[in-house]
Amino acid sequence: MAAEGRVLHAQLHLLDRQLIHERTGELLGKVDDVELDLDAGIPVLTALISGHERIPATQIVAIDSAIKILPGDLDLTKGDDWVEQHIIDKIPGAGDATE
Amino acid sequence: MKRLFAVTLGILTAIGGFVDIGDLVTNALVGARFGMRLAWVVVVGVIGICLYAEMSGRVVAVSGRPVFDLIRERLGRRTGLFALIASFLVTLLTLIAEIGGVALAFELASGVNYLLWMPLAAFAVWLVIWRVKFSHLEQVFGLLGLLLIVFAVALWKLGPDWGDLVQQATSPGPIGHETWATYAYYGIALFGAAMTPYEVFFFSSGGVEEKWDRRDLVTERSNVFIGFPLGGLLSLAIAGCAAVLYLPIGVQVETLGQVTLPAAVAFGKLGLAIVLLGVFAATFGAALETSLSCGYTIAQYFGWQWGKFVRPRQASRFHVVMIICLILSILVLMTAVDPVKVTEYSVVFAAMALPLTYLPILIIANDPDYMGEQKNGRVLNFFALVYLGLLLLASIAAIPLMIVTRAGR
């Protein structure tokens, strides 16, 4: 896989890039760090780190102007869910589309 | 009419930059003290914001990434955080001033003290953000803000000596007892207002709200090249009115009432009514622009879900940031601080934020990975670099000049 893989510049293509849900387009955070496998000769990307969550490279769908992922079981929107439950949902109209 | 609706994002963005509450007063103040001798700065500013807003709009249309997303990506987490703090503070200070400005417009119309209107103004801004669709918000406040064209018509009605105004505009420099330092200070204030960072935050995020893609490049450009020159024109008209009415008799402009007076002199009560509605729309529009920009910058830096294109509960942190900012605005204004003075201090933070905002836009607009065929050409890059130099110069000079001139006094 390493031989056929795309050559990426960690700083330019990965770090601080926006994470997006591949299906829904939901914004899921930024890439804070990367995990590399250095045993393979050429370093190979094994995972992305966002906050406290580790996103295995297998869940990455595309690396473009944003990084599209399939989050699966990962909980990347903990903060948003907390604010939603405790504050935003208590305000009338929180679930309505704007007019 | 459909064409006009298509460019309301550009118009509203420009209104927030050129004729928000601080600039309404600054433009009139500059006209009363220097005549049209600083008009060239507005022209230079319009060209600069057109260059960079066009780049940010093009980047959004091609890559879908708004400005603050790119700032963190290109500057990294630390420098990005510094840029975030500086630009967030400018935007928040401006928001505070605008809430005060909306309340001042109501005070002028009703005679009831602005402090009583102020919580109501903040609540109304929140309600619009919470409930009203982005495209409706930009159409209503963008178009109503255009009522400020009454200043241009009033200038014509006042029947000035046009030759004299042109003479002033073509002979830059201070007059009377004014010094070069105050002249330069107000020059930087006008340049900074024209290129204030929240304009590109709002404009590029607005492009995402409007779901721009490559096919919308023409719309994006019409927004830039109609909206910002219109904003500059309004700014010049306000200065012109003050130059005609106040400069010859040596009156200093300090209040919003004095800013609106030329329209009343030219057209009586009807003129006053139109100008008050225009001021309301412009300050309310600027309040929407700055409160949304507070949410956009923080959410985009951290990668949170943002935007009015999703329901509030889907972007809960984005909405909570804006609610906190509006509550902070009420608290600050409760101290009875003069809303117009608040914007003077925002110049300091704007100065720090300017180069850090525009450099990443220029870098990305040249990145073939992002932009493909739509990357910047050489001529554009040349002018963009000249402006980056100007921004750097302004950012270095702003704070010393503010101290030396005691904020232009």
Query: Contact, B32 vs B251, CB < 8 A?
Result: yes
Q: Does B214 touch chain A (CB under 8 A)?
A: no
CA distance, residue A38 to nearest chain B CA (Å): 24
- Angle between the B217-245 and B256-302 helix axes, to the nearest 10 degrees? 150
Range of the domain at B186: 2-404
Taking alpha carbons only, the member of B197, B76, B400, B265 closest to residue B205 is B197
pLDDT at A73 over 60: yes
- What would the pLDDT profile of A16-28 be if each residue is shown by its tens digit? 999 999 999 999 9
Is the residue at A30 inside a domain? Answer: yes
Q: Which residue has the tokens 């000049």?
A: B401
How many degrees, rounded to 5, is the angle at CA B401 between CA B395 and CA B407? 110
pLDDT at B1 over 90: no
- What would the pLDDT profile of A33-55 be if each residue is shown by its tens digit? 999 998 878 888 999 999 989 99
Is the residue at A98 inside a domain? Answer: no
> How far is B343 from B346, CA to CA, in rounded Å?
5
Confidence tier at A1 by pLDDT (50, 70, 90):
very low
Nearest to B311 among A17, A77, A95 (CB): A95
Residues on chain B touching A78 (C-beta within 8 angstroms) = none
Whichever domain contains B14, its CATH number is 1.20.1740.10
Taking alpha carbons only, the member of B301, B307, B403, B302 closest to residue B356 is B301
Specify the 3-state DSSP secondary structure of A49: strand
Is the residue at A49 inside a domain? Answer: yes
Q: Does B370 touch chain A (CB under 8 A)?
A: yes
Is the residue at A4 inside a domain? Answer: no
> How far is B292 from A31, CA to CA, in rounded Å?
24
B250 burial class (0-12, 13-18, 19+ CB within 10 angstroms)?
Answer: exposed
B398 burial class (0-12, 13-18, 19+ CB within 10 angstroms)?
Answer: buried
Is the residue at B409 inside a domain? Answer: no
- What would the pLDDT profile of B355-391 be if each residue is shown by its tens digit? 989 999 999 999 988 898 999 999 999 999 999 999 9
At B197 the pLDDT is: 92
Mean pLDDT, chain A, rounded, equals 89
pLDDT at B241 over 50: yes
Is the residue at B121 inside a domain? Answer: yes
Q: Element (H or E) spanning A56, and its range?
A: strand A53-56
Cβ atoms within 10 Å, residue B273: 16
Our measurement of the distance from residue B329's CA atom to the centroid of its chain's CA atoms, rounded to an integer in Å, reads 18
Number of domains within chain A = 1
Is the residue at A44 inside a domain? Answer: yes
For B40-57, letters b (16+ CB in 10 Å) and e give ebbebbbbbbbbbbbbbb
- What would the pLDDT profile of B320-331 be if each residue is shown by its tens digit? 999 999 999 999
Number of domains within chain B = 1
Q: Which one-letter amino acid corresponds to residue B82?
A: F
Is the residue at A65 inside a domain? Answer: yes
Cβ atoms within 10 Å, residue B171: 11
> How far is B291 from B293, CA to CA, in rounded Å?
5
Our measurement of the distance from residue B280's CA atom to the centroid of its chain's CA atoms, rounded to an integer in Å, reads 15
Confidence tier at A4 by pLDDT (50, 70, 90):
low
Cβ atoms within 10 Å, residue B124: 16
At B62 the pLDDT is: 95
Range of the domain at A14: 10-90
Helices (H), B8-66: 8-18, 21-34, 39-63
CA distance, residue A41 to nearest chain B CA (Å): 27
Contact B131 A16 (CB under 8 A): no
Specify the 3-state DSSP secondary structure of A35: strand
Query: Contact, A67 vs A55, CB < 8 A?
Result: no
Is the residue at B278 inside a domain? Answer: yes
- What would the pLDDT profile of B283-313 be if each residue is shown by its tens digit? 999 999 999 999 999 999 999 999 999 999 9
Is the residue at A96 inside a domain? Answer: no
Query: Contact, B205 vs B366, CB < 8 A?
Result: no
Whichever domain contains A59, its CATH number is 2.30.30.240
Query: pLDDT higher for A42 or B261?
Result: B261
Beta strands in B244-299, from DSSP E residues, in sequence order: none
Is the residue at B79 inside a domain? Answer: yes
- What would the pLDDT profile of B94-121 be if each residue is shown by its tens digit? 999 999 999 999 999 999 999 999 999 9
Is the residue at A99 inside a domain? Answer: no
Q: What average pLDDT does range B83-89 have in this prediction?
A: 92
Mutate to test the interface with B, among A17, A55, A80, A81 (most CBs of B within 10 A): A80
Mutate to test the interface with B, among A30, A32, A49 (most CBs of B within 10 A): A30
Nearest to B316 among A26, A88, A93 (CB): A88
Q: Does B363 touch chain A (CB under 8 A)?
A: no
pLDDT at A2 over 70: no
Mean pLDDT, chain B, rounded, equals 94
What is the DSSP track for B298-351?
HHHHHT----TTS-GGGGHHHHHHHHHHHHHHHHHHHTT--HHHHHHHHHHHHH
Residues on chain A touching B313 (C-beta within 8 angstroms) = 84, 88-89, 94-95
